Amino acid sequence: MKEPAKKADIWIEEYVTAKNQEDKEKVLGKFKTYLALHPEDLSARLKYIDLLVRENNLEEALKQIEECISYNAHPACFVLKADILNTMGRFAEVIEFIRQIKGKLQEKYRVTIEITELLALINEGRYEEALSIYNRLGKDGLLNYAARKPEEQQAVLDIILELEAYKKGLEWVKDNKNVVAKAEEIFGKYFRIKKIIPKIEGDWEVPDSPYLYVKVAEELNTEKQMIDFIERENKALVEFFESIPSNQKVTIIVEPASKKEEIDVVSTR
């Protein structure tokens, strides 16, 4: 009988060279049968998880990671769980999970998992928390990490671009208090303003004229309310957007007076 590690490698090769989905399913079946008999085999399980991710079967991959953690709490399992949760768009869950376990991880794993945390925080719009981690790791520190981990380079660059733009945006707020005050004046008549997030993007493609993009929470029917607001305040809104430099984007997060759900109003010029 071949050694387990060699068998797993052979199955991986069978999967890669499979001519159809049926043959791939057979390979996955071999892993599943083997792991039922040898649940403690971390190497084989991680390879099986990799195939499940390739198949975009993320729910099953997540179940396998939980099995992995229950038999062998290897840091690689924690990193992989965070990465898959992030891929699934379960950003709040990612952040909570990472904060529970990252203090227990060795340094070499901590930076990797904090990059996943940064991506999740950005996707959740939690820029202040992301900025705190970013400032601690440092731009140069992240670039050095990316140089050693080519597979992480794009994620690191995305984080740097996003948070450097946000930092510039914070500076913009300080220098443009009149714009912030005007936004509060216009939107404050109808909504509670939760946050104003300015971001500067140097290569922003500028449309011919100002426009509004309205994102309404699916469970809340506030589209008519927003349309009425835009119609009533059309002149004031146009003047407001024209006051924003062409290389900037401002996101204004508001909530209806009687509801908790958020509405994002994004303006670009």
Q: At 260, is the pLDDT very low, low, confident or very high (cuts 50, 70, 90)? A: very low
Per residue in 202-232, pLDDT (tens digit) is 443 333 333 333 333 333 345 666 677 777 7
Pairwise pLDDT comparison (249 vs 262), residue with the higher score:
249
Is the Cβ–Cβ distance between 269 and 241 less than 8 Å? yes
119 phi, psi to nearest 5 deg: -60, -40
Report whether pLDDT(51) > 80: yes
The topology under which CATH files domain 4-168 is 1.25.40
Q: How far apart are CA 257 and CA 87, in angstroms?
A: 34
Angle at 83 between CA 127 and CA 156, to 5 degrees: 50
Three-state secondary structure call for residue 247: coil
Q: Do 124 and 91 contact (CB within 8 A), yes or no?
A: yes
- The pTM (predicted TM-score) of the whole model is 0.67
pLDDT category of residue 196 using cuts at 50, 70 and 90:
low
Looking at residue 12, its pLDDT comes to 85
- What are the tens digits of pLDDT across the range 100-152? 988 888 877 888 899 999 999 998 888 899 999 999 999 999 999 889 888 88
Interatomic CA distance for residues 255 and 257, integer angstroms: 6
Nearest to 122 by CA among 150, 153, 161: 161
Ordered by start, the domain boundaries in the chain are 4-168, 176-268
Give residue-wise pLDDT tens across range 162-182: 888 788 777 777 777 777 788
Residue 16 has a pLDDT of 86
Q: What is the DSSP string of 66-91?
A: HHHHHH---HHHHHHHHHHHHHTT-H
